[in-house]
């Protein structure tokens, strides 16, 4: 495969490489402009080359440098290093640095440096020259990445899914390297800010993000905002998944917007059963065992029919890495441009992937996962709702109210999250005749980067695995308590019969 590539000309432009180096030596402003475009890309190329050389001990792995012509790459490194140390790169300093580093012969001696310094390039064109160098580098990198994919496929040692995953990661890495951040003048951003303010003014306090349809929660958060990482945390069996699926149900049925679910704990079948139970208002246990009344059976079949057109996508692969989740989410976003929400159930079941340079502990892994999910929300422009476990510390307190410090395994979760939601349910006493589904619950907003904190009362109906507004959207205004909600929804009064 390498022979095939060698037999064909790789994309490069010696003229552009020479011109950008000459322009950077023209004046200080051009130097900084050229480094702004190329330095980050050059560092990325060096990391990629080092990784490829070290892969499986193969020293002959082909590598791609930013500058195709080796003397040009060396000169760029010298210029960049001089600027880092606060020294102005020119003919004299370049010769001195090249001689000190033992690379003077490799750049063609003093005459080779003089040829670059004397080139007729102006500082005004430095960005254009740099973009040409960048374009050619990306094309060469694509060629070598494609070569790797072909070689792995021909070797027939790894399964197709693994090869595809590696190919996607490499292509996404190349795609990411096209974009480099820079300062933006405030005046250039005012148009988008003005548009957001006008939209808020037109809605007059209505939801500006994706509505959860939990009325009081939407009032406090204005909905789930784009690019936000929302953490939904609680102890086991309190209702994290139920609340997340209620939000998914509301977005898909009421807003008619697509939602993606990464279910690392439950299978897709179990997730769908939960949705049916909540939407059809039937007992979860009886749904699973098939002992449903005729009325409940009719409700289930009616709900099944309504589920078909819903734009809800479920991936139930266990133990996924943040890289795999990112790749799949990007594909889903490409398929569904109006993607409204990504749900991850739950964060502690994810894996960070292999760490460069050795092993890392669980706290470092969770920190990497948390940062990755925040980055994914920003990259997609979609809110990411990640479920998280709480530590046992919450159960040792008398009020059992969750706090930010109860988030398990890493303080990075609290730091990276834009919004942290807790679920708190008052447990009935063992000697109480009060049914658990009659206990009001509350969603506690423990952190909100751009809004208030506080609590939102909701009703939790255990047998339906469902949270509801205390005053249901469709219920009369006087309905305020969980008991009223269940009465309004219609309790199951028929005896269960085989489905």
Final residue in a domain of this structure, among 180, 195, 228: 180
For residue 199, is it within any domain? no
For residue 103, is it within any domain? yes
Residue 233: how many other CB atoms lie within 10 Å: 29
pLDDT at 321 over 50: yes
Q: What is the CATH number of the domain that holds 323?
A: 3.40.50.300
486 annotated active-site? no
Inter-axis angle of helices 28-54 and 70-84, nearest 10: 120
Sign for the CA dihedral angle at 418, 384, 325, 386 comes to positive
Q: What is the CATH number of the domain that holds 114?
A: 1.10.860.10
Q: Which residues pair with 313 in a beta bridge?
A: 260
Check whether residue 136 and residue 18 sit in a common domain.
yes
Check whether residue 228 and residue 353 sit in a common domain.
yes
Average pLDDT, integer, range 96-117: 86
CB burial class (10 A; 0-12, 13-18, 19+) of residue 191?
exposed
Instruction: Give the pLDDT confidence score for residue 256 in this predicted structure.
Output: 87
Check whether residue 138 and residue 236 sit in a common domain.
no
For residue 69, is it within any domain? yes
Instruction: Give the pLDDT confidence score for residue 363 in this predicted structure.
Output: 76
Final residue in a domain of this structure, among 134, 163, 180: 180
| Domain hosting residue 55, numbered range | 2-180
Instruction: Give the pLDDT confidence score for residue 409 in this predicted structure.
Output: 62
Average pLDDT, integer, range 149-162: 80
Residue-wise pLDDT for 268-317, tens only, equals: 888 888 888 888 777 777 777 767 777 777 777 888 888 888 888 988 88
Q: Give the closest residue to 286 by CA, choosing from 492, 81, 105.
A: 492
For residue 330, is it within any domain? yes
Check whether residue 213 and residue 176 sit in a common domain.
no
Check whether residue 236 and residue 359 sit in a common domain.
yes
Check whether residue 156 and residue 255 sit in a common domain.
no
Final residue in a domain of this structure, among 165, 180, 195: 180
- 3-class DSSP assignment, residue 232: strand
Check whether residue 414 and residue 480 sit in a common domain.
yes
Active-site option among 131, 135, 168, 265 = 265
Average pLDDT, integer, range 400-419: 76
Secondary structure (DSSP) of 389-450: EB-THHHHSSS----GGGBSS-THHHHH-SEEEEEEEPPPPTT----GGGSEEEEEEEEETT
CB burial class (10 A; 0-12, 13-18, 19+) of residue 66?
buried
Edge-first strand listing for the sheet containing 440-448: 312-315, 259-263, 341-345, 384-389, 229-234, 419-425, 440-448, 454-461, 466-469
pLDDT at 495 over 50: no
Check whether residue 256 and residue 165 sit in a common domain.
no
CA distances for 292 relative to 30, 228, 299, 459, angstroms? 76, 41, 10, 24
Sign for the CA dihedral angle at 404, 328, 358, 374 comes to negative
pLDDT at 385 over 90: yes
Helices (H), 294-338: 294-307, 322-335
For residue 142, is it within any domain? yes
**Is 35 within 8 Å of 24 (Cβ atoms)?**
yes
For residue 315, is it within any domain? yes
Q: Write the Ramachandran bin of 332: left for phi over 0, alpha for psi from -120 to 50, otherwise beta.
A: alpha
* Count of the separate structural domains present in the chain: 2
Check whether residue 236 and residue 326 sit in a common domain.
yes
Angle among Cα 179, 416, 379 to the nearest 5 degrees reads 25
For residue 377, is it within any domain? yes
Check whether residue 134 and residue 232 sit in a common domain.
no
Q: Which two tokens stand for residue 102?
A: 């033992």
For residue 269, is it within any domain? yes
Share of the chain above pLDDT 90, in %: 3
Residue-wise pLDDT for 167-184, tens only, equals: 777 777 777 666 555 656
Instruction: Give the pLDDT confidence score for residue 345 in this predicted structure.
Output: 84
Check whether residue 222 and residue 151 sit in a common domain.
no
Check whether residue 223 and residue 364 sit in a common domain.
yes
- 3-class DSSP assignment, residue 83: helix
């Amino acid at each position: 495969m390498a022979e095939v590539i060698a037999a064909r000309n790789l994309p490069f432009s010696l003229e552009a490489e020479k011109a950008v180096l000459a322009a950077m030596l023209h004046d200080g402003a051009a130097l900084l402009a050229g480094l702004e475009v190329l330095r980050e890309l050059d560092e990325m190329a060096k990391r990629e080359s080092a990784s490829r050389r070290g892969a499986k001990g193969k020293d002959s792995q082909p590598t791609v440098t930013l500058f195709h012509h080796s003397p040009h790459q060396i000169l760029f490194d010298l210029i960049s290093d001089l600027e880092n140390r606060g020294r102005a790169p020119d003919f004299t300093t370049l010769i001195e640095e090249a001689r000190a580093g033992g690379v003077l012969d490799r750049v063609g001696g003093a005459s080779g440096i003089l040829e670059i310094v004397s080139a007729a390039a102006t500082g005004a064109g430095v960005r254009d020259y740099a973009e040409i160098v960048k374009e050619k580098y990306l094309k060469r990198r694509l060629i070598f990445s494609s070569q790797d994919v072909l070689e792995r496929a021909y070797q027939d040692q790894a399964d197709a899914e693994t090869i595809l995953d590696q190919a996607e990661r490499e292509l996404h890495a190349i795609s990411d390297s096209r974009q480099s951040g820079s300062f933006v003048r405030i005046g250039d951003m005012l148009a988008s800010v003005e548009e957001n303010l006008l939209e808020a003014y037109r809605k007059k306090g209505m939801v500006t993000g994706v509505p959860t349809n939990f009325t009081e929660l939407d009032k406090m958060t204005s909905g789930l905002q784009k690019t936000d990482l929302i953490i939904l945390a609680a102890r086991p069996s309190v209702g994290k998944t139920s609340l997340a699926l209620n939000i998914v149900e509301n977005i898909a049925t009421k807003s008619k917007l697509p939602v993606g679910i990464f279910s690392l704990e439950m299978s897709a079948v179990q997730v769908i059963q939960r949705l049916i139970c909540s939407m059809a208002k039937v007992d979860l246990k009886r749904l699973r065992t098939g002992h449903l009344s005729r009325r409940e059976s009719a409700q289930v079949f009616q709900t099944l029919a309504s589920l078909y057109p819903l734009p809800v996508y479920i991936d139930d692969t266990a133990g996924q890495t943040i890289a795999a989740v990112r790749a799949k989410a990007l594909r889903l976003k490409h398929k569904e441009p109006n993607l409204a929400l990504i749900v991850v159930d739950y964060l502690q079941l994810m894996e960070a992937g292999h760490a460069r340079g050795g092993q890392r502990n669980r706290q470092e892994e969770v920190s990497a996962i948390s940062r990755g999910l925040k980055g994914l929300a920003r990259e997609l422009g979609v809110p990411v709702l990640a479920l998280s476990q709480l530590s046992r510390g919450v159960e040792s307190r008398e009020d059992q109210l969750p706090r930010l410090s109860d988030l398990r395994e890493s303080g990075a979760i609290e730091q990276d999250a834009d919004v942290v939601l807790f679920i708190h349910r008052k447990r009935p006493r063992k000697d109480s005749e009060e049914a658990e589904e009659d206990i009001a619950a509350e969603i506690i907003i423990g952190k909100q980067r751009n809004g208030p904190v506080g609590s939102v009362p909701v009703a939790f109906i255990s047998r339906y695995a469902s949270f509801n507004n205390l005053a249901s959207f469709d219920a009369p205004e006087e309905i305020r308590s969980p008991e009223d909600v269940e009465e309004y929804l219609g309790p199951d009064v028929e005896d269960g019969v085989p489905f």
